[in-house]
Structure 1
Amino acid sequence: MGIVVRDLAGLGEWSAASALYRRVFGYDHPEFGISPRLLAALRENSGSVLGAFDPAGELIGFCYGFSAVDGGELYHYSQAAVVAAGAQGLGVGRRLKQAQAETARATGARTMRWTFDPYALRNAHFNLSVLGATAIRFLPDYYDDGTSDRLLVSWDLTGPHAVKHECVTVTAPAGEHIAAPGPADRAVLRRELAEQFALGRLVRVERRDEHAVYTFERDTP
């Protein structure tokens, strides 16, 4: 495809990344934007600021993140990854995540984390099935705006590990792209996700016929 993924450098590229981010998400309010100066600071302080360029040199993808600590564990947090509408489905997102993982490893991180909408089936498939990340926490109304339930995922950067486990599934009605589109079904699914996350880790989301199936793993002795 001739796509190049590399660190972004200089005000022009940081500004282009900020513009792409707002364009992909359709953000009109300035408070939802990304400061190019923030990207400069992250790049110089163990963060990740990466772009994907097409053969013509146009920026078609962007991701950024930063180092973080939880209970003494160093990990890399991926705040956002975006791909231009015309470049989606070409593997750009996967290339960006792989490059971001390399950046994270260089800081000493053994895992990478990020959040996503638990009801967006396409994102769930990419994060859990394609990348192999595991959802470790349910975060109701993460951004405190009434519409931002999120799943926190952890992606092991050190390689596969064999774990003994049992599986429990949660099933909900689903449209083509969204699980539990109706308010009543969404309320039930939201409650069940919260309950299951207290007991295990989400490893897979599948669409079967007209239903979404969430599979949780529980470690066993």
Structure 2
Amino acid sequence: MELVVRELYGQAELTEAARLYRRVFGYDQPEHGVSPRLLAALRENSGSVIGALDGDGTMIGFCYGFTGVESGELYHYSQAAVVAAEAQGHGVGRLLKQAQARIARGTGARTMRWTFDPYAVRNAHFNLNVLGATGVRFLPDYYGGDTDRVLVSWDLWHARKPGAPAGAVRSPATDRARLRAGLERHFAAGARWTGVTRDAGEVTYTFESDES
């Protein structure tokens, strides 16, 4: 697939990015959209506003984020990354994250963070197994009812170092209550979520600790 991944500029591109965002997520309520004016402000103030365009110049992917600080640590927060349905499975998401990482490094950030649905196994595999990010915090009902999220942190300068095994959760992929209980238990014990596998309808979440 011919592809260009770059920062977005101008009202037309930012509006198209906002349109793609709504289409991929199926949002029709205006309050769930993203403002092109906000994207313009983020781009000019240490944020990231990146598009993936195919050979015809059609936008098929988009991500955006902003700079955050916690306890003196500067990081880049990736609020959303979307890929059009017809372009999924071609590595577009990885290219968007890599481009976002380059912008984040330029701001002085050491890590990038984002949240994702922990029961979406495909997303978990991409975040933990492919990128090498680490699940660091469980956020129940993050956006309201039935919107559990896990916060991940991705080291932008070094590969993830292996830690000591800290247990696992094995469950049918559809048993969210059991998976949620396992996530709560392991994160409460100070473990980090580092991997996921799926086999015959069951998933296994693996955890590590910083202790050697």
Give the TM-score normalised by the residue count of structure 2: 0.96
Tell me which of 194, 198, 201 is aligned to 1:210. 201
Correspondences of 1:65-84 after superposition (within 5 Å): 65-84=65-84
Does structure 1 conserve the Cα–Cα contact (< 8 Å) formed by 2:133 and 2:160? no
Aligned to 2:156: 157
Aligned to 1:178: none
Q: How many angstroms apart in 1 are the aligned matches of 2:163 and 2:128?
A: 18
Aligned to 1:173: 172
Aligned to 1:177: none
The amino acid that maps onto 1:194 is E
Aligned to 1:187: 177
Does structure 2 conserve the Cα–Cα contact (< 8 Å) formed by 1:166 and 1:220? no
The amino acid that maps onto 2:156 is L
Q: How many angstroms apart in 2 are the aligned matches of 1:105 and 1:12?
A: 27
Q: How many angstroms apart in 2 are the aligned matches of 1:115 and 1:131?
A: 14
The amino acid that maps onto 1:189 is L
Instruction: Structure 1 unaligned segments of length 5 or more: list them.
Output: 175-180
Residue 161 of structure 1 and its aligned partner are, at CA, apart by: 5.1
Residue 195 of structure 1 and its aligned partner are, at CA, apart by: 1.1
Aligned to 2:22: 22
Instruction: Structure 2 unaligned segments of length 5 or more: list them.
Output: none
1:45-101 deviations in Å (ceiling 9; x for gaps): 000000000000110100000000011100000000000111111110000000000
SS of the residue aligned with 2:154?
Answer: strand
Residue 163 of structure 1 and its aligned partner are, at CA, apart by: 4.5
Aligned to 2:102: 102
Correspondences of 1:2-17 after superposition (within 5 Å): 2-17=2-17
Distance 1:127-1:50 versus aligned 2 partners, 3 A rule? same
Give the TM-score normalised by the residue count of structure 1: 0.93
Aligned to 2:44: 44
Q: How many angstroms apart in 1 are the aligned matches of 2:47 and 2:160?
A: 27
Question: What RMSD over aligned residues (CA atoms) do the two structures have, in Å?
Answer: 1.1
Q: How many angstroms apart in 2 are the aligned matches of 1:26 and 1:163?
A: 38
Count of residue correspondences: 211
Does structure 1 conserve the Cα–Cα contact (< 8 Å) formed by 2:132 and 2:159? no
Identity in percent: 65
The amino acid that maps onto 2:32 is F
Does structure 2 conserve the Cα–Cα contact (< 8 Å) formed by 1:61 and 1:96? yes
Q: How many angstroms apart in 1 are the aligned matches of 2:210 and 2:74?
A: 23
Distance 1:53-1:170 versus aligned 2 partners, 3 A rule? same
Aligned to 1:220: 211
The amino acid that maps onto 1:86 is E
Aligned to 2:126: 126
1:2-58 deviations in Å (ceiling 9; x for gaps): 200000000000000000000000001000000000000000000000000000011
